Structure 1
Amino acid sequence: MQSIFEILLLVLQVARFFIIAHFIMSWLISFQVLNIRQPLVNQIWFGLNRLLEPIYGPLRRILPDLGGIDLSPLVALLGIYALEIVLRNNVGFFV
């Protein structure tokens, strides 16, 4: 059962990495450091969008519209941290 606990933590860490990479890439595209017309940048950007949309979509429906500010990555990261805290506090169930 310890391995299930570690696998769950690994999945949360990977999700956290993808969200942070998407967040940083969106800023780099906004400030025109990265050009979305480049094939590699385009593939990575749309791949991350397709991967994270099932997480961001429901959050965007719940969160209020703030114009150009999207808080769904922040809420998703907070949710991941909360899940990690719950898992770590209940590690006894996995042993």
Structure 2
Amino acid sequence: MLSLFQILSLILDIAWFFVIAHVIMSWLINFQVLNLGQPLVAQIWHMLQRILEPVYSRVRSILPPMGGIDLAPLVVLIGIYALRIVLANNISAFY
């Protein structure tokens, strides 16, 4: 059962990495450090969009309009962190 805990932790870590990478990449694209005309950058960006946009759209439907500020990634990161806490506090159930 400990392996199940480790697998769930790994999935949450990967999700955390994807959200952080998406946020940093969006900043770099907006500040024109990265160019979507480059094939590798465009490929990575579209992959992250396909993975995260379904999650972000559900969060955005709950959040009130913030006047151009997108808080969906922050809410998703808080949700991932909360799931980590729940897993860590219930680790005894995996033994």
Distance 1:67 1:33 in 2: 25
Letter in 1 for 2:48: L
Paired residue for 2:8?
Answer: 8
- The aligned runs of 1:28-39 (5 Å cut-off) are 28-39=28-39
Q: Paired residue for 2:83?
A: 83
Kindly provide the CA deviation profile for residues 30-76 of structure 1, in whole angstroms up to 9, marking residues without a partner as x: 00000111111111101100011121110010011112211000000
Rounded to whole Å, the distance in 2 between the matches of 1:57 and 1:85 is 24
Query: What is the aligned-residue identity percentage?
Result: 64
Unpaired segments ≥5 residues, structure 1: none
Structure 2: gaps (5+ residues): none
Instruction: Name the TM-score, length of structure 1 as normaliser.
Output: 0.97
Distance 1:37 1:62 in 2: 33
